[in-house]
């Protein structure tokens, strides 16, 4: 069996590799500020990036996600994230990673019901030591988006 060549777009994910502190901040009435950790590491010979998160409260599930290219076309350079969490939720997010931003978006049905669209929009700091962003939800197919909670990453290593 011939093994396909590596997708060069994976090199762009290298900026995420390492350990990060997490800070989740909910709007008033939600849980208090929540801390946690996140690790991004290469698996299967560098063909996939695995993300693991652990948070300090039960309302926020621990997660594992596998990230890879969404096509063999290097020029397209977008990704797909297969998400799994400690509640038993499984989802698929479209992912884009540019020089200054990270976006995850879910707007098509997958393994979980699609009662609302969901997206994370984060900005990478200069030097890529922080990602500051927020999760949002839309119940009208993306015409309007409501703030869910902030989720910020600060690099440890």
Tell me whether residue 1 is in a domain.
no
**pLDDT (tens digit per residue) in 83-134:** 999 999 999 999 999 888 999 999 999 988 899 999 999 999 999 999 999 9
Tell me if 25 is assigned to some domain. yes
User: Quick one: pLDDT at residue 6?
Assistant: 59
Q: Are 8 and 69 in contact (CB under 8 A)?
A: no
Identify whether 147 is part of a domain: yes
Residue 2 lies in a domain: no
Tell me the HSE value of 36 on the side-chain side, using a 13 A CA sphere.
24
pLDDT score for 4? 54
Tally of domains in the chain: 1
Domain that holds residue 137: 8-155
CATH of the domain at 88: 2.40.128.20
Is the pLDDT at 2 greater than 80, yes or no?
no
pLDDT cut 90: percent of the chain above it? 71
In a domain, 3, yes or no: no
Owner of token pair 């609302």? 116
pLDDT in tens, 61-86: 999 999 999 876 555 568 999 999 99
**108 lies in some domain:** yes
Q: Which residues pair with 136 in a beta bridge?
A: 119, 147
**pTM for the complete prediction?**
0.89
pLDDT at site 54: 95
Average confidence (pLDDT) over 22-43: 89
HSE-up (13 A, CA, CB side) for residue 47: 8
Residue 23 within any structural domain of the chain = yes
Domain for residue 47, yes or no? yes
User: Which residues 6+ apart lie within 8 Å of 50 measured at CB?
Assistant: 40, 41, 42, 43, 64, 65, 66, 67
């Amino acid at each position: 069996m011939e093994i396909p060549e590596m997708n060069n777009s994976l090199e762009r994910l290298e900026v995420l590799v390492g350990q990060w502190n997490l800070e989740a901040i909910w709007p008033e009435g939600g849980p208090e500020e929540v801390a946690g950790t996140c690790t991004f590491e290469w698996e299967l010979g560098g063909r996939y990036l695995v993300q693991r998160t652990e948070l300090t409260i039960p309302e926020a599930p621990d997660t594992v996600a596998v990230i890879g290219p969404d096509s063999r076309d290097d020029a397209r350079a977008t990704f797909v994230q297969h998400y799994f969490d400690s509640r038993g939720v499984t989802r698929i997010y479209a992912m884009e990673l540019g020089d200054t931003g990270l976006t995850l978006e879910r707007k098509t049905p997958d393994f979980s019901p699609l009662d609302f669209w969901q997206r994370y929009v984060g900005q990478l700091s200069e030097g890529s030591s922080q990602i500051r962003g927020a999760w949002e939800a839309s119940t009208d197919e993306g015409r309007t988006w409501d703030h869910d909670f902030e989720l910020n990453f600060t690099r440890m290593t």
